[in-house]
Every structure is written in C-alpha cells, then in structure tokens.
Amino acid sequence: MNANAVVSVRDLHKTYGKAGEKQYEALKGIDFDVQPGEFVGIMGASGSGKSTLLNILATLDQPTSGKVTIDQQDVTTLKGNQIADFRAKKVGFIFQDFNLLENLTNYENIALPLSLQNMASSKIKMAVDAVASQLSIAETLPKYPTEISGGQKQRVAAARALVAQPTILFGDEPTGALDSNSARDLLEMLTSVNHEQRVPVLLVTHDPFSASYCQRILFIKDGKIGQTLHREGRTQQAFYQEILDALGTFN
Amino acid sequence: MLNKLAFAGIKSRLKDYVVLFSGLVMSSAIFYMFEALATNQSFIKNNTSVSGASFIFQLGAVLLTIITLVYIFYANSFLMSMRRHDYGMFMMLGAKQRKIGQLILLETVVIGVIASVIGILVGWLLTGTLGNFMMSVVIGSRLKHFSAFYLPAVVTTVGLYLGLFLIAGVVNWLSLTKTQVLQLLKGDQQPNRPVLKPVLQVVQVIGGLILLAVGYYCMAHVQTIGLFAILIALVTIVSGTYFLFNAIFIWLVLLLKRTSWATKGLNTFTLSQLQFRIRNYTKMLSVVSILFALALGAITVGIGFHRQIDLMANVNSPYTMAIPDATTVTQKRVDQLKLATKATYQQKETKTTVYYNAAELKTTPLQRVTTTLAELQKQHRSNVTVHYGTMSTTQLQKNPVDLELLQSGAQQTKIAKVVSAAQFARIKGTAHKLLVFRVANLKADQQALKTIQKGENLAAGTVLPGGYGMLVLSTAIYGGLEFMGLFLGIAFLAMLASCLMFKILSGASSDKQRYNMLNKLGTRGGILRRSINREVGVLFTLPGIVGVIHVLFGLQLFKLLMINPYDQIWIPFTIFILLYIIYYVITVRLYERIVLPEIQINN
Ligand SMILES: Nc1ncnc2c1ncn2[C@@H]1O[C@H](COP(=O)(O)OP(=O)(O)OP(=O)(O)O)[C@@H](O)[C@H]1O
Ligand SMILES: [Mg+2]
C-alpha cells in the first residue's frame, strides 16, 4: 500500500440481489491504488463489473464488503449528507449519457456544483468562464443542452465535473456516445487537464483507442482484475497496439 | 400483439392509473351528488321556499360543469403524458398510425366509462349518507321527499362524462397522429425559452387589469345590471387572470433568475423548473385561481348564510314571540324562560280591525329595534348586540305597523288601531290578550321556545310572529343556500386539489430523472426537498393570493342575499387556508415520494 495514493481499493466485493433472492456477484475482490496525477483506464467485457466498480468509487453505490479510501477518507462509511457533500466536493463524474439537466442552460449546468456550495456569483462566473474556455465551449454557454451536439454536451458535462476542482475525476465510457473526432477531442482535453492540474482520472472504456491515452490499464474479468498494462514511456501508438494484443489474448 | 403491448404499458404504470382513476371517480361522484341534490325537482319544491334558490342551484350546476370540463382536460393531459412515450415507441416499432389512433381513442373512452360508472355508484352512496347528513345538519330536520338515486342525474352524469371523454379521445387521436415520433419520444424535453417582450407584457398587464376591473364591477352591480352580469364577470375574470399571470409570472421568474439569489444552491434549478413549463403553468394557475376563488367563495358564503339566520332572527323583531290568548300552561312555560322583557296588551277585534288601548301602551310602551341595518353591518362579533327602544303612543297612532307585525292567525290581515281608553271600552268586538316577550338569549332557550310554539297548535307551515318564528323560517331558506355553499366549496376544493395534483404529477416522470441527476452531482437531500417545497409552494401560493382577491370582490355579489357578506370573513378564510395548506403538504409529500431518489442509488 502506498500512503500517497489518492484512491485505494481493498478486497472489494459487490453482490447484487438481497439474501434469499437470486443473487449475482459482480465484484469478487478487487485491489488497486491510484497515485496522484495518474490516468488509469479500466477495461473489460460487457458485464464484467466496470460500471459497478466505478459507481462504488464515486459513492453512487455501496459495496457488499471491502474498503475504498479516497483522499484518506473511507468512503464506504459515509452517511446521508456526508455522501452528498463528498460527491459535490471531491468527485467529478462524466457519464456516458451526459446527465445534463435539460431545463438549465449550459452555463447553469456547469455552475451548479458551485451554486450548491453557495459560492458568490462573481466567483462562480470566473470559474465557469475559465473552465469553459479551457474546454473551448465558451460560445455554447447561453444555450440549452438540447441545442448543442453530443460532443459539445460531453464537454459541458466534463466542465461541470471539473469546475469544483475535484480530487478525482471519474468517467464511465464518456466517449461511448461520441463519434471518433469528438471522442479524440474529449480524450485530449482530459489528458491535458490531467497533466496541467494533476487531477487523477479513472476512465472506464471499451475502446482501445481511448484506453491508449491512459498510463495504466486494469483489465477486469469476472469481477476480478485479470491483467494490468503500463504505458511506461512508450508512444501512444505502441501502447495502442499492446492493448489490442492484450484484448485478443485476454478475452 | 399491439393490444398486449398497450396493456403491458398500463400494468407498468398501475400506480399512476390509480391516481387518475381515483381523481376521475371523485369528480364524477361529486358531479352526480350535486345533480341528485340540486336538480331533484320534488326535493327542491319541498325544501326551499325562495325563488332565487332554484337559480342559484342552476348556477352551481353550470359552474360545476365548467369545472368538470377543465378538470377532465387536465386528467386527459395527465393520461397523455403517461402514454406518449409508449405510443411513440409503438410507432417506432412500426405500428400503423391508424391502429395507434384507435387504441388511444378506445383507451380514453374506456377510462371515461369505467370512471363515471364507479363514480355514480360512489356518488349514490355519498348522496344517501353524507349529502343527507349535511342537509339535515344545515336545515335542522331530516329531509322529506328525498332519494339518493335520481335517474335524470345518472343520465346527465353519464352523458357529460361520456361526451367529454369521446371528445378527449378524438383530440388525443388527432394530436397523436399529427405528432412526429421523435417528439412523442422526447415529450416535453424541449426547453421553452421565454423572452421578455416588454410592450406585449405591459399590454397584457393593462388588458388583464381592465378585464378584472370590468368583472369586479359587474359583480358589485348585479342589482342594476342583472344576472347577465355574472356571466360577463365569469368570462372577464377568467381571461383577465390569465393575462395577468402570463405577463407577470414570466417576468417574475426571469427577473429572479438575474439576481444573485438565483445562483445560490438549487435556486436556479427551481426557477428553471418553473420557467421550463411556464406556459402550461400560467394556464393552470389561472384555472386554479378561479377554482380557488370559487371554493373559498362558496364556503365563505355558505358560512355567511348561517350567520344570516342569527342576524335575521335578532333584528327582525323586538320580541321573541307574540302569543295571542296564551293558555295558563303556555304562560307558565314563558315564565320559566330567562326573559329580557314581557308585556300583555288588550285587544278588541272586529271584522277588519284590531284595536289597542292607548293608556296601556303608555304605561307599558311597545318596544322597537333601534339598531339600524347599517350599524349591524359594521358589527364583527359573533354575537351581535341589538339595541331596543320604545315607541310612543302618538307614533303608534300614526303608524301602527309595529303592532300589525305582532298579529297572527286571523288577525294577520287586519289593520291595527290605537285608541284612547274610553274609546277602547266602547268598542264592540271580541276581546283578546296578546302576550309578547323577548328572551335574553334566543339560542339558549331555543328548545323551550319550540315547545311553546308546538303548544299553540298553529296551522301547518306557519309560525308565531317574532324572532323565533323568523329563526325557523330563515333556517329553512338560508339553510338550503348554506348547504349549497358548503357543498360547492368542498366540491371545488376537491377538484382544485386534483387539478394541481394532475398537473404536478404530469411532470413527475421527467422530474424524476432530474432529481436523480442532481443527487448524483452531490446535492443534499434537504436541499432537494427545499427545492420541491418551493416549486410546489409557488404553484400553490400564486393562485391562492389571486383567488383571495377574487373572493373579496366576488362577495359583492351576495349583497343581494345577505346583510353583510364580509362579516366574520376570517372564519371561513382560516378554515379554507388551513385545508389548503394541508393539501399543499400532502402534494409535496406525494411528489417527493415519486421524484426523490435515495441518496444511495443502486443502478
Ligand atoms: N442493479 C443491478 N442488479 C443486479 N445485477 C446487476 C445490477 N447492475 C449490474 N448488474 C450485473 O452486474 C454485472 C456487472 O454489471 P456492470 O454494469 O458493472 O457491467 P459493465 O462492465 O459496466 O458492462 P458494460 O460494459 O456493458 O457497461 C452484470 O452482469 C450485470 O448484469
Ligand atoms: Mg457499464
């Protein structure tokens, strides 16, 4: 175990279904750490438990047993408002289906996490403008989510996830609904944020190309980590090739 | 196959259908109940003796029909909001539009038929129990000529509901087949981006105010304009309210959004929720404010009529009773009462005239009520204080009407004359003694007075002159009106409640996703709940305020029937607002149950 780890997961189990009903064990003992500033990918076949794992890390779901520490805090013991505050302050989450509120403008969507912290409106404006120009979506701010493209929506969602300067950023197939160009844009943006702000990123993905942006990739099979790949100074192209090979043998 | 799919859709939304059905059943039950009570000719003839009452009952029936119309419109839009997505899906899967059209028509009509049939059964039950009970409490005796089952009412109820649902079904059919599949699937996800058009807005505000003013003026001057005024008022007030809401509501929301208050917590979200469906809401708010006014007004007037009974009894005559030739039994009974005043006057009765002895009237002067109507109208206490003075013999000689009012039986049509003692002795006529008295508290001695009146063996339907007789008569007259007021008030309140409920529940399915997202973003449960409280609170408060204003003006209408319709107005207002608040709390709880996710999501 590393004392500096931003995220540390120990012997994590998750069983769906109540005792007595039909049960399904989605996670069967997962262990790993994420170091500050790391960009980690999670891959695996459909139904292998990737989303389950990410949801538990982001406090959207609770494990059956095991320990998850984020920023030195055991998140599995949080209750009620603590959970809400933890999500608001520590976690940034980008969903596959954007999860934007379509009755708020993009500006209001991005500002929401800051409003929830009752920040002064002038400060909110500064923060939103900054993150919007970083993600080059400044001109979409006054529009509504229904009035922009999927790629732009995902950038807005990313901006919302980043605006409160979270301890860690999670993405559950954020490129899943995007075309390859938009996907590339988003990944490059995530990489630069990861580099510049040293925010660790944990990315679930199916797509080997998306995965090639990561420094390390965890392959999940049948609820366990089956294999780990490290980029370690290789070019993205070489890493991409290695991921493809790994997927071939892994599945 | 498609039928199976459609049925599966219904099954999956059983809870929503239960809400829809209970609302519709309640509405048709109320409608039946009113029809059974208000249009039952034999019953009306036997229980009310005012010509105006029949008109008021008819007006009530018209109002209830209008409300039912609006109500079904909302219920139907709730139904459509539930089914849009399903039908869109069927079309995506390749179902023919014609088939879908038939399906929605069938579904709408079947729902209408089932709801109205169950509603009539429930209404029948309610009429027999609750209706009868309410009537008897208000009128003071069990009803005669009354049966809870009344065929014309059944026919009207079925006819109205079937007709309305047929229309609703056809409208649904047309709107569904004209809408693009994509729109059906997306529903009301399209934002409604309201823009401020200051000129239009100002025009709307002014127009709305003018319309309202016309309406209020009409109501205050029904006496001069005639009953047509009520119709004008109805139209102008409804449209005026709509324009005002339309202009002010949008403006208010947009203005609030620009303040720094809006950026705190979920305030932006709450405002956007309101803004998002702003047009639907303004329509609904105007309807609700009218319903609110009708409900509150009806209850106020109902309770007002009750007070009217007391007022009439107290101010009508200086004496509680005037008994001709009281027997010793009666006299004993009278002496047992707590009397404020008592006197006996000699009479000599001829064919045309009843003579009184001036000397006697000088030693024990006749009393009169000195409190004027205007003074009475200013009194706002639960027990009115009425002042009494005396009449001089010269006054009575000039105008003996006060004496004539005390004459009953055969004397009722004869004129009264006050003559000197000498003249009185000379007159040949049958000698009588008139016993007059006033009790200190009419209410307290009501039972004893009833016994006294019974002992006098009066002709059926007649009463002894005086306050007690007035009490009996006005209870019969105003009791019916009070019942109407209370009944309509409760009926309108129930409809109002369901209208708001349908409106709010129509949006619940899309709201559910929103609250789920907010939860995932880390919004505290308390903050989510506060947002809901505020949103629903606005939807309740705005029409409430406007409704109260409507009522305050609308009561002018009842100056025709009541001494002071504004008297003790706080009682019905308090009762009503309490009920309204309880209803608000229930709605919020219901809504929260639907839309609020667990803080822990298992997805
Ligand atoms: N709420 C639930 N109740 C019961 N079983 C569930 C639930 N959610 C997920 N599962 C099961 O747990 C397993 C893992 O699901 P999970 O969503 O984590 O897969 P995934 O790796 O994200 O798949 P995909 O790549 O398709 O998104 C699956 O077999 C799924 O059927
Ligand atoms: Mg998944």
Do B18 and B114 touch, CB atoms closer than 8 A? Answer: no
- Pick the more confident residue, A201 or B191: A201
Do B179 and B188 touch, CB atoms closer than 8 A? Answer: no
How far apart are alpha carbons B109 and B340 in whole angstroms? 67
Provide the residue type at B565 as one letter.
Answer: P
- In a 3-state reduction of DSSP, which class is residue B347? strand
Q: What is the mean pLDDT of each run of 10 residues along chain B (603 residues)?
A: 68 73 83 78 56 61 77 78 76 77 83 90 86 65 66 88 88 76 60 69 90 88 77 85 85 84 85 78 78 80 76 81 88 88 90 90 88 69 74 86 86 88 89 90 84 79 82 74 76 77 73 88 89 89 86 79 77 86 86 74 42
ipTM: 0.89
Q: What residues flank ion ligand 2 with Cβ within 5 A?
A: A 51
How far apart are alpha carbons B113 and B159 in whole angstroms? 10
Cβ contacts below 8 Å, chain A against chain B, sum to 96
- What is the percentage of chain A residues whose pLDDT exceeds 90? 63
* Ordered strands of the B430-439 beta sheet: B321-324, B430-439, B339-349, B353-357, B415-419
pLDDT at B180: 67
Asked whether the predicted pLDDT for residue A211 surpasses 60, the reply is: yes
Chain B hits for A60, Cβ within 8 Å: 520, 601, 603
Best of A103, A106, A147, A162 to substitute, by most chain B Cβ atoms within 10 angstroms, is: A103
CA–centroid distance, A50 to ligand 1, in Å, is: 8
Do B185 and B88 touch, CB atoms closer than 8 A? Answer: yes
> Would you call A129 an interface residue with chain B, using a CB distance cutoff of 8 Å?
no
Q: What is the mean pLDDT of residues A22-51?
A: 93
CA–centroid distance, A188 to ligand 2, in Å, is: 22
Locus of tokens 């005012």: B50
- pLDDT tens, residue by residue, B451-460: 888 888 777 6
CA–centroid distance, B113 to ligand 2, in Å, is: 46
Q: Name the DSSP letter for residue B143.
A: P
Asked whether the predicted pLDDT for residue A200 surpasses 90, the reply is: yes
How far apart are alpha carbons B506 and B203 in whole angstroms? 31
pLDDT at B49: 47
How far apart are alpha carbons B238 and B286 in whole angstroms? 7
pLDDT at B550: 85
- Pick the more confident residue, A21 or A124: A124
How far apart are alpha carbons B144 and B80 in whole angstroms? 45
b/e code B448-482 from CB counts within 10 Å (16+ = b): ebeebbeebeeeeeebbbbbbbbbbbbbbbbbbbb
Domains of chain A: 36-62+78-250 (3.40.50.300)
How far apart are alpha carbons B522 and B474 in whole angstroms? 64
φ, ψ of residue B201 in degrees (nearest 5): -65, -45
pTM score: 0.75
> Would you call B521 an interface residue with chain A, using a CB distance cutoff of 8 Å?
yes
- Work out the number of other CB atoms within 10 angstroms of the CB of residue B220: 18
> Which residue of B lies nearest to A105 if distances are taken between CA atoms?
B272
> Would you call B600 an interface residue with chain A, using a CB distance cutoff of 8 Å?
yes
pLDDT at A51: 92
Chain A hits for B192, Cβ within 8 Å: none
| Residue among B421, B499, B443 at smallest CA distance from B311 | B443
| Residue among B600, B494, B596 at smallest CA distance from B266 | B596
pLDDT at B498: 75
Q: What is the mean pLDDT of residues A192-205?
A: 92
pLDDT at B56: 61
pLDDT at B139: 57
Ligand 1 neighbours, Cβ below 6 Å, are: A 16-17, 24, 26, 44, 46-52; B 602
**Across all residues in chain A, what is the average pLDDT?**
90
List all residues 6 or more positions away from B101 whose beta carbon is below 8 Å from its beta carbon: B173, B176, B177
| Residue among B176, B161, B199, B186 at smallest CA distance from B72 | B161
CA of B601, nearest ligand number: 1
Going from N- to C-terminal start, the domains of chain B cover: 1-190, 195-317+466-603, 318-464
Do B36 and B127 touch, CB atoms closer than 8 A? Answer: yes
Which of ligand 1's atoms lies nearest the C-alpha of A204?
22
